[in-house]
Structures are given as structure tokens and as C-alpha cells.
Amino acid sequence: MSFKFSAAHSSRIKKPTRPPAFKRSSSSASPYSSLPRRKPLQRSSTKPEKEEEDEDFFGDRLDDIGLVKALATDLTLRDVAQAISHIRGKMWGRIPEQRAGMNSTRIAEVLNFRMSLPPLVTVLHVQALLNSPTTVEREIAELIRGGAIRKVVVGGRGSLGEALILVKDLDSMIERSALEQDVKEKFIAVLHEHPTALKLPRSQISEDEAKVLMHAGFLTSSTSSWTATDVFSRPGDGSRGTMTSLNSISKAASGSIAAVGGEGAVHAAGGSGGGAKLPSTGDYTLALPTTGPFLKLLSNARAHLLSLLSKSKFREATESLLRQRWDGGIEADDTASAARQNRGDFVGVLPGRTRKWKQFYGITFEWILEECVGAGLLEVFDTGSVGRGVRAL
């Protein structure tokens, strides 16, 4: 046994590894400075955290005790005319007076976009709002014959099908347009003379008047009396349908617009130019201006509501939860939220930063829900315990 053995070698007391030169003074030293440092915990990135709005609080299917036949909660709705006015009145949400999250330019843009859309209401929406589809169809036919409402067929891509508009609203649109006064009066008289017609006979409107109404967006025509090949194969006949004929071009002054075919020559020859559509041989179809933006807005809103419902496990959720997702988790308008706001606490997202206002200009949840139910995309049922439920079909 060596005599140099001491208790210091067998003791568990270890000397600090930090050199004395790096030690802080005793006056500024922290009681936790001598503790060993650890690296922060790193969470696994394979399972991303879900946002609060995407959480599904119901792990099982909702109880279904029966479908809701009529979505209208207003007992004063007794006929189609009242239903149309009710639908038009609740389509847009009210812009918040404070903390809207939108500047004056954006608010003006939202209001102008709302005013530019035609006051259309789909037949499917009216049927979803009222109780009996058969009674609704019979009443619609009676109101059309009586001249109170008018039916417009919206076809093409993303077709709406049959839409309704009040006759007084249609007359107001024509009066506010940039048409000449005599054209306005004649067109309104023709519409009142044929209240049930979806198409207007060509004998009622001259070609010049039809061209002006097509520019304004009140008429369309699909059957053309000439083809693009007639423009180049038969110069004489081509001059009747377009200015792109050898006869008209040869007489035009050099360097003028007429020397290259005139305005809308590419469109008249079958291209994608911005020229006007010329009258054709079939009957004129009644249309409404700015129907395209309305159709695009409706189709995108339908798709967004279905995507919100698909976040749930069984593609069903309570109406209150789906409404919260559509609104985007905005701050509530109550006393508790106002108190938290005064304290400086976070109370929710500003409305102007949600998709409801940025992309859909403030469409209300009730309006788009009824529209999807009428289109056969959703169904509303009674749960008996947590209110009404919504299920995707």
C-alpha cells in the first residue's frame, strides 16, 4: 500500500472544470451558474402540430335524429318573393366599424364589387329555404306569368342552372346601364311583353339594337350565320360579317385601323381578340351583366366550405364549429372580448385578414350553407344534443 494514497482520490467531490480565470465575481454570480448546461429539447418534425381551427373535437359520429327539411328560421317567409328578398338581404355580412383589418381602399373595393354583381338567386337556394319543392315550383311559375319575377338560365362552365331575379331589379339594371334611352324603353317593353320567354325572337329587336345590348351584356347569341373560312374564301360575303375582307381592306387608307381589318378583326375571325360578338341567326338569349364574377365567386365559396368540412374525421361537424371555421376565428363582439382587448390580450384574427373577406368579400355563413344544401352538396340534420349538424354528401 502506497503512503501517497489520500481520501481525495476516492472522494466523489469533483473540481470544477471551468478555469478560475473565467469565474465571475461572487457579487454577480448566479446560484445556477454552476449547474451543467443542457441542450434544448428538439421535437420530432415528422408529426406537425395541428392548428387550433383544424382540431376535431368529436371523435365519433354525431347523433342523427332526422334531416332538417326547411333551413329558414324566419317564420314570416311564406312565398317565393319574400324568400328572394330574404336571400338577397343576408348574402353579405356587415363590415365592422372598428378593427376591421381593412383600409378605406379595400372597403371601397368590397362595396363596389358587391354592387356590381347582378341580384340573382338560384332556384335551388329558394327550394332549400322553403319546405315543399313542388309548391315552390308551382309558385315560381305563377309569379313568372304574373310578371313579378323572371327566370334566367345560366349555362356554361360551372353552370348555376336556373336563376331568378325580381322584375323591378331587372328594370333598374337596364335603367342604370349606359344604353340609349330609346333602346332601354324598347328592351323593357319587349321583356314585359314576353314574361315567360327565356329567349327573345329576332324579329322583336333589330341588329343594331341587338349589337348594343350584347355589348352591355343583356343578350347573347350562340348560332353564327358565318364561319371563319368565309372571311378568306369569299371576300364579298365576308364583308357582311366582318371587316376582314379583301374588298374592304383594299379601299381603306394606308396606316389606318381599317387597313388591318378594323377593331375586333381577330375575334371576328374566330380568335380570342376583344372584339364584339355580332348578331347571328338564332333567337337571342336573355343574359345579365357581370354574371361571370358571380358564378366564379359562388363556385369558389362552395368548394371552400366543402374543404372546411373535410377536415373533420367523418366529413361532418356541428353547425357552430363549421361557422367558426368559415369566419376564420375572428374576435367575438361581446363584453369579455372587449375587456381582453382593453388589457392588450390577443382576442382573435381581424376580419380583413381572413379568407371570408379577402377572397369572398364577406359572404355570410348562412347564405353559403343554404346554397350548398340546395345544390345537393351538403345536408343538415338534427343531433338532439349539440344543435344542428352538417354532413357532406
In a domain, 118, yes or no: no
Q: Which domain holds residue 387?
A: 58-69+312-392
Is the pLDDT reported for residue 226 higher than 50? no
pLDDT in tens, 322-359: 998 998 876 555 566 666 666 655 556 788 888 999 99
Given a cut of 80, is residue 46 above it in pLDDT? no
204 is a domain residue: no
How much is the average pLDDT of 32-51?
A: 53
Q: Is residue 177 part of a domain?
A: no
359 domain-assigned: yes
pLDDT tens track for 278-308: 445 568 889 999 988 999 999 999 999 999 9
DSSP 8-state secondary structure symbol assigned to residue 363: B
- Per-residue pLDDT band at 387 (split at 50, 70, 90): confident
Task: Give a yes or no: residue 176 inside a domain.
Answer: no
Whole-number Å distance between alpha carbons of 111 and 93: 11
Lowest mean pLDDT among 38-47, 64-73, 200-209: 38-47
In contact, 139 and 131? CB cutoff 8 Å: no
Residue 114 has pLDDT above 90, yes or no: yes
What local confidence, expressed as pLDDT, does residue 75 receive?
64
User: Does 362 fall in a domain?
Assistant: yes
Total-model pTM: 0.68
> What cell was used for 180?
340609349
* Position 44 confidence tier, pLDDT thresholds 50, 70, 90: very low
> What average pLDDT does the structure give for the chain?
76
Residue 41 falls within a domain, yes or no?
Answer: no
Report the distance separating Cα 344 and Cα 311, nearest Å.
32
Lowest mean pLDDT among 24-33, 315-324, 353-362: 24-33
Instruction: Return the higher-pLDDT residue of 86 and 254.
Output: 86
Residue 243 has pLDDT above 50, yes or no: no
Q: Given a cut of 80, is residue 112 above it in pLDDT?
A: yes
Quick one: cell of 208? 343594331
Q: Outline where the chain has alpha helix (H).
A: 7-10, 80-89, 104-116, 123-129, 133-146, 167-176, 181-193, 207-216, 228-233, 235-241, 246-251, 265-268, 291-309, 319-327, 335-343, 355-358, 365-374
Domain count, the chain: 1
Percent of the chain with pLDDT over 90: 34
Residue 74 resides in a domain: no
Residue bearing the bigger pLDDT, 238 or 138: 138
Which pLDDT value is given to residue 237?
A: 42
**pLDDT higher than threshold 70 for residue 264:** no
Q: Which of 87-101, 160-174, 344-358 has the lowest mean pLDDT?
A: 344-358
Nearest CA to 380 out of 299, 298, 322 is that of 322
Instruction: Give the number of other CB atoms < 10 A from CB of residue 71.
Output: 17
Answer positive or negative: Cα dihedral of 290, 294, 297, 303.
Answer: negative
Is pLDDT of 134 > 90? no
Residue found by looking up cell 478560475 in the block: 20
CA distances for 200 relative to 193, 194, 216, 221, angstroms: 10, 8, 16, 10
Which residues are CB-neighbours of 273 under 8 A, at least 6 positions away?
Answer: 264, 265, 266, 267
> What's the pLDDT at 276?
45
